[in-house]
Structure 1
Amino acid sequence: MNLERTVQSRRGGLSLAFGLGLLCAAGQAPLGWAWLSLAALAVAIALLTLPERWQVVAWRGWAFGTGYFAGGLFWIVEPFLVDLPRHGWMAPFALVFLAGGLALFWAAAFGLAARFGRRRVLRIGWLVLLLTGAEILRSFLFTGFPWVLIGHIWIGAPQMQFAALAGAHGLTLFTLIAAAMPALFGARRAVLGVIAGAALASLPAGYGHFRLPPGPVVPAEPAQVIRLVQPNAPQHEKWDPDLVPLFYQRQLDLTSVDPVPGQKRPDVIIWPETSIPWLLQYAEPAFAEMAEAAQGAQILVGLQKQSAEGAWFNTMAVLAPDGTVEDSYDKHHLVPFGEYMPLMHVFARWGVFGLAANETGGYTAGPGPALLNLGTAGQVLPLICYEAIFPNDIARAPGRADWLVQITNDAWFGQVAGPWQHLALARLRAVEQGLPMLRAANTGISAAIDPYGRVIAALPMGRAGKLDVVLPAPLAPTFYAQHADLPVFLFLAVLFFSLVAFSRKTHFG
């Protein structure tokens, strides 16, 4: 009775919803407690079935979402602590506004589901539809932020392989359907509902076990050795004039070091995002030193460049064995409030600029996804940092790559959760496309990921080092690579019209 009163009270209901949101976030990396997350989500959905006004349910949905996003994205304060005197005051506002703002999507889903659903079954159906829609909407709106999506709780579990069919939004959809089973069965048949939900959540695991091969990773043909360089330059030291030469020399040393006995020298060497301090047009002397250290290998290196018109770009350059620039790619999906400032002229009046931007207004977006031809190493799709979280950007590439490469500087994200979540998203992209992913991260986690999303080798967080791996062979294009999110959108459309028809029937019949 006391619990019932607590739930029905405004403060108690909001507190419970917030706490459930925190528990639900435990499914995200680095914890990865997917079943706890699923249980918390199931209880939150059950709250929807209580006879409350839709406004009350919307507030509970907002509290649930705020707890979830605060628990999953608490690391967002880390970038503001790098330059504490300049940006430290923004840290609490960033977390509060980000968590509370993203939770508005969930508030709308919960509130509208309660408004449209006159019966329990309808409420649950509308919530599955609208909450999936909310996750899709926040993946695209205002340049998109598809981080800690509900479906991401399965990254690293066998259920992750379902993304090869339906992507991250398909994972979200089936997770919500499974979590809704206890509420759908009702309190009197709660045990059956829990069993049904657990069984439904386990079905994609069966597909995952079926899809995963029992043997070792198949290497690409011809065999290619890729070296990942991890200099481990802390962000607050990275551009210190006294330390820049040290980090640069460290990368040269890691590039030139001999491989382990019995393994050939690397064919391609990858340096992280913005790993050298010189602009592309002034870096010829450095390129010559890098080519000498590489001893015949190609190098992919992250650095900045400036156009003749003064525009700045976050760039990945391809260096030939003689140190000349063979090709380059400019990052096109930039981080708002990081690499550029929306409403720049307004914020500039207050002296507020992007964290990684320069005071001319930050970076300029490149023209879009591109493929880099590495000769015998194949065609590679370059992703710079944040771009690896957007599956739709990969789908817009001009052709199918042989492998994916991500260069990133996760020193901005601290060492607790942010880099682990970023790695998890890279794993999911590999599963979706059926392509291996090689990622070089400044402070970690540099890793080689096979086309099934398995980390086959990695360097520890916060440690300098190099990693030599044999490039895995790509798989045939997955169902998701061929159709993207269209099947999920069609399913949601069918669900929408079914709910509308059922609502009209119950209303008039």
Structure 2
Amino acid sequence: MADPISSRLRPGVTSSAAAEGGRALPRWHYLVAVAAGAANTLSFAPTPHGGWLEIAIFAFFYLWLTRTTGWKSAALTGFGFGFGNLVTGVWWLYVSMHDYGGMAAPLAGAALVLFSLYLAIYPGLAAGVWSFCAGHASNGRADPRPQLPFAPTWHGAFAFASAWAIGEWLRGYVFTGFPWLSSGYAQVDGPLAGFAPIAGVYGVGWMLALVAALIVQALLHARAARGSGNGAGNNGSKAKANSTRSETARALAPALVAVALIVAGLLLPLVQWTVPANAPLTVRLLQGNVKQDMKFEEAGVIAAIDEYQRMITERRADLVVTPETAIPVLVQAVPPSFAQAIRQFSDSTGTSILFGAIGGDVTPEGRVVNYTNSLFGITPNSGTLYRYDKHHLVPFGEFVPYGFRWFVDLMKIPLGDFARGAVVQKPFFVHNQAVAVDICYEDIFGEEIAASIRDTDTPPGVLVNSTNLAWFGNTIALDQHLQIARMRTLETGRPMLRATNTGTTAAIDAHGNVIARMPPFTIGSIEAHVQGMTGRTPYVSAGNNTVLAVSVLLLAFGFAFGPGLRRRNGQA
């Protein structure tokens, strides 16, 4: 049967290079991949409903991969796409290093580029693995007809989805992980968000890649059908008419599956994975807008403590939450006037309080050791002080990776090594409602949030995130972090409360909807009523195991049978 895609040599591919099975794509092919990755940044917050745009961009990305001539060019194309996406999506790291860290602009820019190049390894790896497991690269053997583009197939589509999901998971796991801008986050307001409670953000990314690949598969077969139809009309060939019908059928099947997956994603939010439990809580979330360059200076510390004392005691609520290190001193050094004021306020009004400060253990000799980034909780009429210690620390921010002290010394930031808290810690109780807390960067790790619900005796019904993004100025980092928090609510079926220093302070319900939000870079508080939930979503029960197991099995199948299917179908 005729190949469904034109077998003419591509521009830039010479006959001799094709005959030798070598890679001969023009350089602009990879520049286009970088540009597509940069465009994909527009899919994420603050773009509204960017999930639809992301589907279109991923379809183009997959189409661009089908133009590659082997695993090396596929990997380089994926690397370019990833670099374009990440260097434009996390450029705000430059602000933290240069504007607040005092690092020279060329060095800060170089550090951003090098970090993005490292992160781009994972999408490059995913594209290379796809090339093998889809039969695109003949598992490294020279292809007798390398000049032919790859004809998208079913096993190629599933291989792309699986390789992409595993690549994103590795990026979020290796070297403590950096899963920021995982593709599933752009779907929070998109058509595939309904899959989040089933398989998490990586599962949403898996669905995104599959839908995009199926769209390309359908479009290319539809184009082939039109080409066959034109030939059939000219020659009156019955064989070509049959070929046209066959190609039309081949186009229709993946198109219907892609549409069905999108419809399923739109309808799945109607499923109630969790149900209300306990009485709703009235919460107040504080935003002090303390300038980062003043935060740890003596005058700034005194002003921050006075401001937060005023805001905490302003009016009662069931729960009041401050940002991360709102009280920027060791908890043992908190001024007695502050401690007495908030304790008296809590006891007299029935208000529970969570405030951020520095934790530490005092030795018998009076030395403070094991400094921690912590949240402390005060319960009305209780002498017990709740404590949560941050577990997932930020490299270069809260600990210095081995061999990188020289890099930290380039910045004028008093950084050190914090001690880690336990992976799963006991919840904080507000009346009879268990609350799971985490600090800043921790809420980008969905598996750890799921574990805090799954692996405790009293599963929490409300999530609280206390953070400080002042390091990144007035950038897209604020909206991106809010979008990440919304994904956590979809995955767990629980509301999320965010108290931030500069923004974005917000309350999010169990369906990912922002019910209250404070403008960034303002001082004040927001009040909201939140309903705690009980029950487990499939993602809370299984974590990332579902998408990883499915992806590994499908890739193993593709690796074992992809090349044989490719040769049988006469595809390149």
TM score, norm. by length of structure 1: 0.88
Matched position secondary structure for 2:436:
strand
Contact 1:82 1:235 (C-alpha < 8 Å) held by counterparts: no
Distance 1:355 1:313 in 2: 21
Query: What SS does structure 2 have at the residue aligned with 1:202?
Result: helix
Tell me the CA shift for residue 220 of structure 1: 5.5
| Deviation of the 1:322 alpha carbon | 6.2
Matches of 1:128 and 1:235 in 2, distance apart?
41
Q: Deviations over 1:96-122 (max 9, x none)?
A: 122211111111222233344246325
Return the offset for 1:486. Answer: 2.6
Between stretches 24-33 and 268-277, larger displacement belongs to 24-33
Aligned pairs for 1:92-111 (under 5 A) are 92-111=109-128
Contact 2:393-2:399 within 8 A present in 1 as well: yes
Q: Which amino acid aligns with 2:478?
A: P
Instruction: Give the number of the structure with larger relative contact order, counting CA–CA contacts within 8 Å between residues 6 or more apart.
Output: 2
The counterpart of 1:384, out of the listed 427, 439, 460, is 439
Alignment-derived partner of residue 39 in structure 2: 23
Distance in 1, Cα, partners of 2:381 & 2:107: 45
Return closer, same or farther for 1:354/1:275 CA change in 2, 3 Å cut-off: farther
1:281-360 matched pairs, under 5 angstroms = 281-283=332-334, 285=336, 286-294=338-346, 295-296=348-349, 297-308=351-362, 310-321=369-380, 325-343=384-402, 346-348=403-405, 352=409, 358=415
SS of the equivalent of 1:461 reads coil
For 1:351 and 1:442, locate their aligned partners in 2 and report how far apart those are by CA, in whole Å: 24
Asked if the contact 1:219/1:470 (under 8 Å) is kept, the reply is no
CA contact (8 A) 2:46 2:476 kept: yes
Alignment of 1:209-288 (within 5 A): 209-211=269-271, 221-258=278-315, 265-283=316-334, 285=336, 286-288=338-340
Distance 1:461 1:208, change over 3 A: farther
* Partner secondary structure for residue 448 of structure 1: strand
CA distance in 1, matches of 2:104, 2:309: 33
Bigger-Rg structure (1/2): 2
Corresponding residue to 1:498 among 557, 565, 568: 557
Q: Deviations over 1:219-257 (max 9, x none)?
A: 763342111111111212222333333332222222222
Letter in 2 for 1:59: L
Of stretches 290-299 and 427-436 in structure 1, the one that deviates more from structure 2 is 290-299
Cα distance in 2 for partners of 1:256, 1:159 equals 42
Unaligned 5+ runs, structure 2: 1-9, 14-23, 137-149, 227-250, 363-367
Closer/same/farther in 2, CA of residues 275 and 111 from structure 1, 3 Å limit: same
In 2, the alpha carbon distance for the partners of 1:200 and 1:99 equals 35
**More moved, 388-397 vs 113-122:** 113-122
The superposition leaves residues 355-411 of structure 1 with CA deviations (integer Å, 9 ceiling, x where unpaired) of 8653xx321111222123425152111101111111111233341212111100011
Q: Is the 8 A contact 2:378 2:385 kept in 1?
A: yes
Provide closer, same or farther for how the CA distance between residues 231 and 377 of structure 1 changes in structure 2, counting only shifts above 3 A. farther
Q: Is the CA contact (8 Å cut-off) linking 2:504 and 2:517 kept in structure 1?
A: yes
Q: Is the 8 A contact 2:277 2:461 kept in 1?
A: no
Question: What SS is found at the alignment partner of 2:465?
Answer: strand
1:367 aligned onto 2:422: yes
Pair 1:330–1:152, CA change in 2 (3 A): same
SS of the residue aligned with 1:24? helix
1:84 Cα deviation (Å)? 4.8
1:370 counterpart letter in structure 2: Q
Deviates more, 1:78-87 or 1:452-461: 78-87
In 2, distance between residues paired with 1:200 and 1:414?
42
| Partner-residue secondary structure (3-state), 1:310 | strand
Taking the aligned partners of 1:383 and 1:87, their CA distance within structure 2 comes to: 33
- Larger deviation: 442-451 or 235-244? 235-244
What secondary structure sits across from 2:423 in the alignment?
Answer: coil
Query: Retained in 2: the 8 A contact 1:338–1:355?
Result: no
CA contact under 8 A between 2:194 and 2:266: conserved in structure 1?
no
Check 1:465–1:201 CA distance in 2 against 1; reply closer, same or farther (3 A cut). Answer: farther
The equivalent of 1:146 in structure 2 is: 179
Q: Which residue of 1 aligns with 2:464?
A: 405
For 2:39, give the aligned amino acid.
L
Q: CA, structure 1 residues 212+94, in 2 after alignment: closer, same or farther (shift >3 Å)? A: farther
The worse-fitting range, judged by mean Cα deviation, of 438-447 and 490-499 is: 490-499
- CA distance in 2 between partners of 1:416 and 1:6 (Å): 40
- Residue 233 (structure 2) aligns with: none
Partner of 1:342: helix, strand, or coil? Answer: coil
Matched, 1:159 2:159: no
Cα RMSD after superposing both structures: 3.0
Percent identical residues: 28
